[in-house]
Amino acid sequence: MSKYVKDPAVIATLTEEQRWVTQDSGTERAGTGALLGNKEPGIYVDIVSGEPLFASSDKYESGCGWPSFTKPIESAHIAELTDRSYGMVRTEVRSTHGDSHLGHVFPDGPPDRGGLRYCINSASLRFVHRDDMQAEGYGDYLNQVEDI
């Protein structure tokens, strides 16, 4: 059994925006996310379940207004679903264990880094600084975090 779960107690502590994004598949306004400009080394985890999602070394400035990543830190923690809302066909990205809406993935990322852009809402993420990863139980991912 996974140690990462969708915990109703954690959901109850979320802000209105965090709850709307993760539980109701909302989208924060472009350019407003707290983690958009973060350049510190560490990992980004699901704000609901804590499952590791993205490494800072895979984050890049895409200019889209949301944190962008070239790949997940562990693909088993990302679920991709077809999203047909708003008259478009897109690929929604959700956390596997927390079932949190994270954002979408698009095929317009850096070609030399796999060509994908994971466009993720800051409201769905919690950042864990490299210096805190071991203490918070994410030490297994330290080798995936590089100095920025």
Catalytic positions are 119
Residue 13: how many CB atoms within 10 A of its CB?
A: 11
The 3-class SS string of the chain reads CCCCCCCHHHHCCCCHHHHHHHHHCCCCCCCCCCCCCCCCCEEEEECCCCCEEEEHHHEECCCCCCCEECCCCCHHHEEEEEECHHHCCEEEEEECCCCCEEEEEECCCCHHHCCCEEEECHHHEEEEEHHHHCCCCCHHHHHHCCCC
CA 122/CA 59 separation, integer angstroms:
12
